[in-house]
Structure 1
Amino acid sequence: MTKLNRRGFLLASGATAATLSAPSILRAAADTIKVGGLHDLSGPLDASGIPMNQVLKLAIDEVNATGGLLGKEVEAVIYDPQSNMSLYSQYATQMALKDRVAVVQGGITSASRETIRPIFHRYQTLYFYNTLYEGGVCDRNEITLGTTPAQTVEQLIPHAMNLWGKKVYTIAADYNYGHITAAWVKRYVEANGGEVLETEFFPLDVTQFGSTISKIQAAKPDLVLSALVGTAHLGFYRQWAASGMKAEIPIASTTFAAGGTDAVILTPEEGNGILTSYGYYTSIDNPTNAAFKAKVKEAYPDDTPILSELSEVTWEGIMVWADAVRTAGSLDREALLEVMESGKSYDMPAGKVSIDPKTHHAIRDVYLAELQDQEFIIKETFPQVQPKDTQMVCNLEETPDANVHHEISLN
Structure 2
Amino acid sequence: MTMESGSRRKALKFGAAAAVGALVGPYVTRSASAAEPIKLGSLLDGTGALGIEGRRMIQATEFAVGQINDHGGLLGRPVKLIAYDTQSSIQLYTQYAQQLVFQDKVDVIQGGITSASREAIRPIFDRSKTLFFYNTQYEGGVCDRNVFCTGTTPAQTVDHIVEYALKNWGKKVYIIAADYNYGHITASWMTKFVKDGGGSVVSTDFFPLDVTNFSSTISRIQEAKPDMVLSALVGANHVGFYRQWAAAGMKSKIPVGATVFGLGDELTTMDAATTDGIITCFGFYNNLGTLNANAFVKGMQAKYGPSLTDLGELDTATYEGIMLWAEAVKKAGSVEQAKVVTALETGISIEGPSGTVKMDPATHHTIRNAYLARPKDRVWEILQTFPNQFPSDTGGACDLIKSPRTNKQFMPQV
Q: Do they superpose with TM above 0.5?
A: yes
Q: Whole-Å Cα distance in 1 between the matches of residues 346 and 163 of structure 2?
A: 34
State the Cα distance separating 1:302 from its structure 2 match.
6.3
State the Cα distance separating 1:333 from its structure 2 match.
1.6
Alignment of 1:166-177 (within 5 A): 166-177=171-182
Q: Whole-Å Cα distance in 1 between the matches of residues 381 and 341 of structure 2?
A: 36
Give TM-score, length-normalised by structure 1. 0.90
Alignment of 1:321-332 (within 5 A): 321-332=325-336
State the Cα distance separating 1:243 from its structure 2 match.
0.6
State the Cα distance separating 1:406 from its structure 2 match.
2.2
Alignment of 1:238-317 (within 5 A): 238-258=243-263, 260-301=264-305, 304=308, 306-317=310-321
Give 2:250's aligned amino acid.
M
State the Cα distance separating 1:113 from its structure 2 match.
0.2
Alignment of 1:341-356 (within 5 A): 341-356=345-360
**Aligned with 1:155 (options 152, 160, 163):** 160
String of CA shifts for 1:322-357, please: whole Å, max 9, x gaps: 111122221122221222111232111101110111
State the Cα distance separating 1:409 from its structure 2 match.
2.6
State the Cα distance separating 1:408 from its structure 2 match.
3.0
Q: Secondary structure of the equivalent of 1:231?
A: helix
390 and 252 in structure 1: CA distance in 2 versus 1, 3 angstrom threshold: same
**Aligned with 2:115 (options 103, 110, 116):** 110
Q: Whole-Å Cα distance in 2 between the matches of residues 304 and 383 of structure 1?
A: 27
Residues 107 and 113 of structure 1 are in contact (CA less than 8 Å); yes or no, is this contact kept in structure 2? yes
State the Cα distance separating 1:223 from its structure 2 match.
0.7
1:365 counterpart = 2:369: yes
Residues 128 and 145 of structure 1 are in contact (CA less than 8 Å); yes or no, is this contact kept in structure 2? yes
Q: Whole-Å Cα distance in 1 between the matches of residues 385 and 379 of structure 2?
A: 17
**Structure number with bigger Rg:** 1
Q: Whole-Å Cα distance in 2 between the matches of residues 148 and 304 of structure 1?
A: 26
**Aligned with 1:47 (options 45, 52, 61):** 52
Residue in 1 that maps onto 2:381: 377
**Aligned with 1:224 (options 223, 229, 246):** 229
Q: Whole-Å Cα distance in 2 between the matches of residues 255 and 240 of structure 1?
A: 16
1:164 counterpart = 2:169: yes
Q: Which structure exhibits the higher relative contact order, with contacts defined as CA atoms closer than 8 Å and separated by 6 or more residues? A: 2
1:335 counterpart = 2:309: no
Structure 1 window deviating more from structure 2 (285-294 vs 101-110): it is 285-294
Residues 32 and 75 of structure 1 are in contact (CA less than 8 Å); yes or no, is this contact kept in structure 2? yes
Residue in 2 that maps onto 1:389: 393
Alignment of 1:126-145 (within 5 A): 126-145=131-150
State the Cα distance separating 1:195 from its structure 2 match.
0.9
| Aligned Cα root-mean-square deviation (Å) | 1.4
Q: Whole-Å Cα distance in 2 between the matches of residues 115 and 344 of structure 1?
A: 28
Residue in 1 that maps onto 2:30: none
Q: Which runs of 5 or more structure 1 residues have no equivalent in the other structure? A: 1-28
String of CA shifts for 1:33-75, please: whole Å, max 9, x gaps: 1111100111100111111001100110100000011111111
Q: Whole-Å Cα distance in 2 between the matches of residues 81 and 178 of structure 1?
A: 21
Residue in 2 that maps onto 1:15: none
Residues 259 and 280 of structure 2 are in contact (CA less than 8 Å); yes or no, is this contact kept in structure 1? yes
Give 1:322's aligned amino acid.
A
Count of aligned positions: 381
Give 1:407's aligned amino acid.
M
Q: Secondary structure of the equivalent of 1:280?
A: coil
Aligned-pair identity (%): 50
232 and 371 in structure 1: CA distance in 2 versus 1, 3 angstrom threshold: same
1:180 counterpart = 2:177: no
1:409 counterpart = 2:408: no
Q: Whole-Å Cα distance in 2 between the matches of residues 374 and 55 of structure 1?
A: 22
Residues 171 and 198 of structure 2 are in contact (CA less than 8 Å); yes or no, is this contact kept in structure 1? yes
54 and 305 in structure 1: CA distance in 2 versus 1, 3 angstrom threshold: farther
State the Cα distance separating 1:387 from its structure 2 match.
0.7
State the Cα distance separating 1:119 from its structure 2 match.
0.7
State the Cα distance separating 1:102 from its structure 2 match.
0.9
Give 1:138's aligned amino acid.
C
Q: Whole-Å Cα distance in 2 between the matches of residues 308 and 369 of structure 1?
A: 12
Residues 357 and 396 of structure 1 are in contact (CA less than 8 Å); yes or no, is this contact kept in structure 2? yes
Q: Whole-Å Cα distance in 1 between the matches of residues 90 and 190 of structure 2?
A: 28
Residue in 2 that maps onto 1:13: none
Residue in 2 that maps onto 1:16: none
305 and 330 in structure 1: CA distance in 2 versus 1, 3 angstrom threshold: farther
Residue in 2 that maps onto 1:234: 239
Q: Whole-Å Cα distance in 1 between the matches of residues 243 and 110 of structure 2?
A: 33
Alignment of 1:67-106 (within 5 A): 67-106=72-111
Residues 328 and 348 of structure 2 are in contact (CA less than 8 Å); yes or no, is this contact kept in structure 1? no
Residues 189 and 412 of structure 2 are in contact (CA less than 8 Å); yes or no, is this contact kept in structure 1? no
Give 1:168's aligned amino acid.
V
Q: Whole-Å Cα distance in 2 between the matches of residues 228 and 76 of structure 1?
A: 31
Q: Secondary structure of the equivalent of 2:226?
A: coil
Q: Whole-Å Cα distance in 2 between the matches of residues 263 and 199 of structure 1?
A: 26
Q: Secondary structure of the equivalent of 2:383?
A: strand
Q: Which runs of 4+ in 1 moved over 2 A?
A: 302-306, 406-410
Residue in 2 that maps onto 1:65: 70
Q: Whole-Å Cα distance in 2 between the matches of residues 312 and 105 of structure 1?
A: 13
Give TM-score, length-normalised by structure 2. 0.90
Q: Whole-Å Cα distance in 2 between the matches of residues 320 and 180 of structure 1?
A: 27
Residue in 1 that maps onto 2:4: none
Residue in 2 that maps onto 1:6: none
